[in-house]
């Protein structure tokens, strides 16, 4: 099987960004299941990523591990926090490998790069090597968070996005198409923001990313775009200047 993607440059719209970070939760991969990976959902997301890759955009990804194990939840149930967080990091590696398999099935060269060494299944994180993969149009999935306990995958995504010189972070959400003043699933009168500042997210305690990730993005002037991951073509549409989303910036 050839892994070379076919790009129709004559019809493809021009993307607004050249290199982006896509952050999705582990729960986004489990579909209607209550646990684990749902292959059709993983394949659908892989097709979304491919559609953006076909525009010539260089893509980084960070995937959470909450569909398998969440460190904070384990800690809340009495497990030692550091151990629970490392278990959560390993869950992100499993999700990254699943996404890599789905992407390569649709012809997109992909590298899983782990902050914790496990050379038999993925590469260790070396910044210059990762940048070179992106330059060669390979999708880079960064796994195992930052490699340290007490840090979320939100912080890992923001850190890697800065290190890779990404132009924006795209955060795909399930069931919502942006940032609201309150939970739209519980409040019919919830209002969606078209744009919002990082400081407003912190002061209004809007549940988007954890505070350390928001501060890191703000201090480095890195835009955050929150959109609906379950909207077909949403990721590609936003990169082409269309669709519904919330943009967070300084």
Q: Is 54 annotated as a binding residue?
A: no
Q: Report pLDDT digits (tens) over 195-230.
A: 999 999 999 888 889 999 999 999 999 999 999 988
Q: Is 125 annotated as a binding residue?
A: no
231 found inside a domain = yes
Mean pLDDT for all residues in the chain: 90
Question: Which pLDDT does position 112 carry in this prediction?
Answer: 98
Question: Which pLDDT does position 171 carry in this prediction?
Answer: 95
Residue with tokens 């959470």, as numbered in its chain:
64
Q: Is 23 annotated as a binding residue?
A: yes
The overall pTM is greater than 0.85: yes
Which pLDDT band, with edges at 50, 70 and 90, does 182 fall under? Answer: confident
Q: Is 148 annotated as a binding residue?
A: yes
Q: Is 18 annotated as a binding residue?
A: no
Q: Is 245 annotated as a binding residue?
A: no
Q: Report pLDDT digits (tens) over 36-74.
A: 999 999 999 999 999 999 999 999 999 999 999 876 676
d(CA 220, CA 193): 22
Q: Is 50 annotated as a binding residue?
A: no
d(CA 225, CA 51): 18
206 found inside a domain = yes
Which pLDDT band, with edges at 50, 70 and 90, does 8 fall under? Answer: very low
Q: Is 32 annotated as a binding residue?
A: no
Which pLDDT band, with edges at 50, 70 and 90, does 16 fall under? Answer: confident
Which pLDDT band, with edges at 50, 70 and 90, does 152 fall under? Answer: very high
CATH number of domain containing 154? 3.40.1160.10
34 found inside a domain = yes
Domain holding 24, by residue range, is 20-249
Q: Is 24 annotated as a binding residue?
A: yes
Q: Is 150 annotated as a binding residue?
A: yes
Q: Is 193 annotated as a binding residue?
A: no
119 found inside a domain = yes
Burial class (CB in 10 A: 0-12, 13-18, 19+), 35: exposed
12 found inside a domain = no
What mean pLDDT comes out for the span 94-105?
98
d(CA 143, CA 153): 9
141 found inside a domain = yes
Q: Is 25 annotated as a binding residue?
A: yes
User: How many domains are contained in the chain?
Assistant: 1
Question: Which pLDDT does position 10 carry in this prediction?
Answer: 46
Question: Which pLDDT does position 2 carry in this prediction?
Answer: 47
Q: Specify which residues 248 forms β-bridges with.
A: 196, 224
Q: Is 234 annotated as a binding residue?
A: no
CB 199 within 8 A of CB 148: no
CB 214 within 8 A of CB 223: no
Which pLDDT band, with edges at 50, 70 and 90, does 12 fall under? Answer: low
d(CA 5, CA 11): 15
Q: Is 178 annotated as a binding residue?
A: no
**HEC string of the chain?**
CCCCCCCCCCCCCCCCCCEEEEEECHHHHCCCCCCCCCHHHHHHHHHHHHHHHCCCCEEEEEECCCCCCCHHHHHHCCCCHHHHHHHHHHHHHHHHHHHHHHHHHCCCCEEEEECCCCCCCCEECCHHHHHHHHHCCCEEEEECCCCCCCCCHHHHHHHHHHHCCCCEEEEEECCCCCEECCCCCCCCCCCEECEEEHHHHHHHCCCCCCHHHHHHHHHCCCCEEEEECCCCCHHHHHHCCCCCEEEEEC
Q: Is 180 annotated as a binding residue?
A: yes
181 found inside a domain = yes
What mean pLDDT comes out for the span 133-145?
98
14 found inside a domain = no
């Amino acid at each position: 099987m050839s892994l070379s993607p076919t790009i129709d440059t004559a019809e493809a719209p021009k993307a607004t960004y050249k290199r982006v970070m896509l952050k999705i939760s582990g729960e986004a991969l489990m579909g209607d299941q209550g646990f684990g990976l749902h292959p059709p959902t993983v394949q659908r997301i892989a097709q979304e990523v491919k559609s953006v890759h076909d525009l010539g955009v260089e893509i980084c990804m960070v995937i959470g591990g909450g569909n398998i194990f969440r460190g904070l939840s384990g800690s809340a149930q009495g497990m030692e926090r550091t151990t629970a967080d490392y278990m959560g990091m390993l869950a992100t590696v499993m999700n990254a490998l699943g996404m890599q398999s789905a992407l390569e099935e649709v012809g997109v060269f992909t590298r899983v790069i782990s902050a914790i060494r496990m050379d038999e299944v993925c590469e260790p994180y070396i910044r210059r090597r990762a940048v070179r993969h992106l330059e060669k149009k390979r999708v880079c999935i960064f796994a195992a968070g930052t490699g340290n306990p007490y840090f979320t995958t939100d912080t890992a995504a923001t850190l890697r996005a800065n290190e890779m010189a990404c132009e924006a972070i795209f955060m795909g959400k399930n069931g919502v198409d942006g940032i609201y003043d309150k939970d739209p699933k519980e409040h019919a009168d919830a209002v969606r923001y078209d744009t919002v500042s990082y400081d407003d997210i912190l002061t209004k305690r809007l549940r988007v990313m954890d505070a350390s990730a928001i501060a890191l993005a703000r201090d480095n002037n890195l835009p955050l775009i929150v959109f609906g991951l379950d909207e077909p073509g949403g990721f590609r549409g936003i990169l082409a200047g269309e669709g519904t989303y919330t943009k967070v910036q300084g």
